[in-house]
Structure 1
Amino acid sequence: MAELPPRREPATVRHFARITDVALAALTLVFFVAAALATGVHNPWQGSIQLGLVLGALLVVRRRRPMTVLLLSIVGIFVYHLSGQWSPAGWIWPAAVAYFTAATTPRVRWVAAIGLAQLVYSAVDARWILDTNPTRYLIHVLGEGLLLAVLVAAGLTYAAATRWRERLREADRRAHVAEERLRVSHEVHDVIAHTLAVVGVQLNVAADALEDDPAAAAAALRLAKDIRNRAMADLRSLITVLRDSPADTAPQADLASLDTLIADTRAAGLEVTLDERGDRAAVPAMTAIAVHRVVQESFANTLKHAGASRAEVTIGYGLRSITVDITDNGRGVPGGDVTEGHGLAGMRERVNALGGALTAGPAPGGGFAVRADIPVAGSTA
């Protein structure tokens, strides 16, 4: 199958991200100005508000240009300090969000190097504190260094968690593809098995009637051709699942195709009676497909192996479950031992996948019987 396109975040996630960035921009401005006022800045319009606006505005585009936002934020902080303004919140904190965002990118080593260079400069710039208050100087340097380490570590952790979630999503997508391929293989088997059984019967009829009744032989061959054409259409619709454009996939055979299936089987020489109890229109799609395939595979087995002349199909459409019974008057199974081939195994897997159960074996009055109990999705027991 074609490689899946890059995953696009849902619109709600993108809107929430934009709202988060705007909120962080507003908080950066408010906190920076509040810290300036709390640390003795009497007129925040002399640089504090301007720097807060710049730092906040840059955060609006931090997801698209994380390294550019980080570098411009640091430049803004340097300009603020070099203009002789008092730093109300240190060197690292005003660019905390920018550091965190940049640390989530593959350029985390550059982020650490830039932060270390800023720390060295801040330690040199604050050396005047060392002469008057060594403890305060130590707290200043270690605090800035610890904050930088926390921001880089948080960015790395967030990036690792994001990659892990992406791997989980990729694993889910691959599992879905594998399940789809398995489903297609079951569908292909069912279609081919039924088609070969019915066409084989018609070819035998044509061969037997070729000399005595050419018209009957021609009719049998035409019917075999029609069934073959329908099977090819079914196979084409299944194979499109494995191609690049899943949108081209045609609907799978379900209860709407049940009448055609029975008509084809009758044309193959098997007398079929259908007894439906309930409303087939209320059956969910996946359950309907399973019912159709169980009946189809049962007919194929009857035509190929049972030597039967009659088959009875009883389908009960309940509110909580669907019951499918198929019996024939064939020769049954010698000794009562059922050898489960691909057909029965495929039916059982299909029914079990929907939470149901399938039994198959000799019928009490002779012949062979298949029974499937399939719960209706969303029902309660």
Structure 2
Amino acid sequence: MADPHPGRGPAPVRHLARITDLALAALTLVFFVAVALATGVRDPWQGTIPLGLLLGALLLVRRRWPMTVLLLSIGGILVYHLTGHWSPAGWIWPAAVAYFTAATTPRVRWVPALGLAQLVHSAVDARRVLDHNPVRYLIHVAGEGLLLAVLVAAGLTYAAGMRWRERLRETDSRARAAEERLRVSHEVHDVIAHTLAVVGVQLNVAADALEEDPAAAAAALRLAKNIRNRAMADLRSLVTVLRDDPAGTAPQADLASLGTLISDTRAAGLEVTLDEHGDRAAVPAITAIAVHRVVQESLANTLKHAGASKAEVTIGYRPRSVTVEITDDGRGTPGGADATEGHGLTGMRERVSALGGELTAGPVPGGFAVRADIPVAGSAA
């Protein structure tokens, strides 16, 4: 097929295209000369080999100039006949590859017209056969016409297939982009929810201590400012993704950021303990991000709604899965609402489900618990 950008594409694809063109050029030369010798041509250097070389050489640039290659191929065959040389195998097939390549281009409508003109000339040129062998003449003309039809149809089919594959790639790319935007929207929600929860607590502390303990109020405000700055950095990187410019995005929060997350939550007044079992280094990045976001969202909910004084985060790293459990001594969701309600829990559930895991959340004796079981990517079930 003609390539509108022959110099582009992956290197292996370009190398394969060059090898294919070289092979077709060699086959055209060898087959044309072999048929000529097999059908009685005595001196192939007097027209047969030069024409074969021309037809083969033209195929080396067929992807860049498909219509030019077809016109020059037809012109070479015409000159071959007009100079008194007998064609060893008709008019159409020596230019078969050129016809096929041209039929894959947007100018395909000119290909049948050129082919029909060549067929008419072929029929007129072979009229002397009609006088003594009408059957052979009909076979010659019908065979040439059938070959032309097959080449044009094959070119059209190939071009349609390539367009269909390109549309599939574009559709798949758009789907992946939409999935990424949905994931990023969850990230934005998690970052904002956690930041507002922690900053809100610190502002309340600052407001209560402003008159009696200005130093404590100042410390609370500084902590709120630091948390806000980190959140803004996260949001900038996420918004960059939403703007279709992935360059310069910061790494997403993962297991290495759990310490900072726990420290921020403790500073907001919630007594948090972190208990980890297993090797966190073996956890893939996508699973690590999900674990961090589950912990972050759960602690944010605890700060905002639970009225809890302490929480415990337990993470178990196993070869095939990671288990995350966050429990607190609060009252759970406000007003006894169903634990599945709200964007926070819904977002966590969707994130875990997308990785093949399961998340449960609900009241437990003495408080509220969120538990997530997340398979490790690439592990066997």
Assess same fold via TM > 0.5. yes
SS of the residue 2:247 aligns to: helix
8 Å CA contact 2:7–2:14 kept in 1: the answer is: no
Equivalents in 2 of 1:299, 1:28: separation in Å?
A: 72
Q: Percent identity?
A: 85
Q: State the shift of 1:218 in Å.
A: 1.1
Q: Which residue of 2 aligns with 1:169?
A: 169
Q: Deviations over 1:254-299 (max 9, x none)?
A: 0111100000000000000000001111110000000000000001
Structure 2 match to 1:342 = 343
**2:362 maps to which residue?**
361
**SS of aligned partner of 1:108:** coil
Q: What CA distance in whole angstroms lies between the structure 1 residues aligned with 2:235 and 2:246?
A: 15
| CA–CA distance in structure 2, aligned partners of residues 29 and 18 of structure 1 | 17
Q: SS at the partner of 1:247?
A: coil
Counterpart of 2:248? 248
Determine helix, strand or coil for the equivalent of 1:369.
strand
Q: Which residue of 1 aligns with 2:285?
A: 285
For 2:330, the aligned partner's letter is G
Equivalences for 1:1-381 in 2 at 5 Å?
Answer: 9-333=9-333, 337-363=338-364, 365-381=365-381
Q: Is the 8 A contact 1:336 1:361 kept in 2?
A: no
Corresponding residue for residue 3 of structure 1: none
Determine helix, strand or coil for the equivalent of 1:212. coil
How many angstroms apart in 1 are the aligned matches of 2:255 and 2:103? 56
Instruction: Check the 8 A contact 1:332/1:366 in 2, yes or no.
Output: no
Q: Which letter maps to 1:263?
A: S
- How far did residue 339 of structure 1 move? 4.6
Q: Distance in 1 between matches of 2:277 and 2:340?
A: 31
Q: CA deviation at 1:12?
A: 1.3
Q: Distance in 1 between matches of 2:8 and 2:61?
A: 18
Q: For the Cα contact (< 8 Å) 2:340–2:361, is it kept in 1?
A: no
Q: C-alpha distance in 1, partners of 2:283/2:268?
A: 28
Q: CA RMSD in A?
A: 1.4
Give the conservation status (yes or no) of the 8 Å contact 1:290–1:350: yes
Q: What SS does the aligned partner of 2:327 have? A: strand
Measure the CA separation in 2 of the matches of 1:355 and 1:339: 18
Letter in 2 for 1:64: R
Counterpart AA for 2:197:
A
Take 1:356 and 1:79, find their aligned partners in 2: how far apart are those partners?
A: 72
Distance 1:83 1:360 in 2: 89
Distance 2:302 2:255 in 1: 20
Change (3 A) 1:287 1:182: same
Structure 1 residue matching 2:18: 3-state secondary structure: helix
Amino acid at match of 1:177: A
Partners of 1:337 and 1:151 lie apart in 2 by: 66
- Could you list the runs of 5+ residues in structure 2 that have no partner in the other structure? 1-5
* TM-score, normalising length: structure 1: 0.96
Inter-partner Cα distance in structure 1 for 2:357 and 2:186: 17
Distance 1:336 1:244 in 2: 38
State whether residues 302 and 332 of structure 2, in contact with CA within 8 Å, keep that contact through their aligned partners in structure 1. Answer: no
**Which residue identity does 1:99 align to in structure 2?**
Y
2:339–2:345 Cα contact (<8 Å) kept? no
Residue 242 (structure 1) shift: 2.3
2:253 is paired with a residue of what secondary structure? coil
Deviation at 1:245, TM superposition (A): 3.2
Secondary structure at 2:314's aligned position in 1?
Answer: strand
How far is 1:309 from its partner? 0.6
Look up the equivalent residue of 1:37 and give its one-letter code.
L
**How far apart, CA to CA, are the structure 2 residues paired with 1:53 and 1:151?**
22
Please give the secondary structure, in 1, of the residue aligned with 2:250: coil
Paired with 2:15 and 2:363, the residues of 1 have a C-alpha distance of: 62
Task: Tell me the CA shift for residue 7 of structure 1.
Answer: 12
Corresponding residue pairs, total: 375
Q: Would the aligned equivalents of 1:325 and 1:370 in 2 still touch at CA under 8 Å? A: yes
Q: Deviations over 1:82-120 (max 9, x none)?
A: 110110010000000000000000111111111111111
- Structure 2 contact 35–89 (Cα < 8 Å) conserved: yes
- Which amino acid letter does the alignment assign opposite residue 120 of structure 2? V
Instruction: State the Cα distance separating 1:243 from its structure 2 match.
Output: 2.9
Deviation at 1:244, TM superposition (A): 4.7
Contact 1:361 1:369 in 2 (8 A): yes
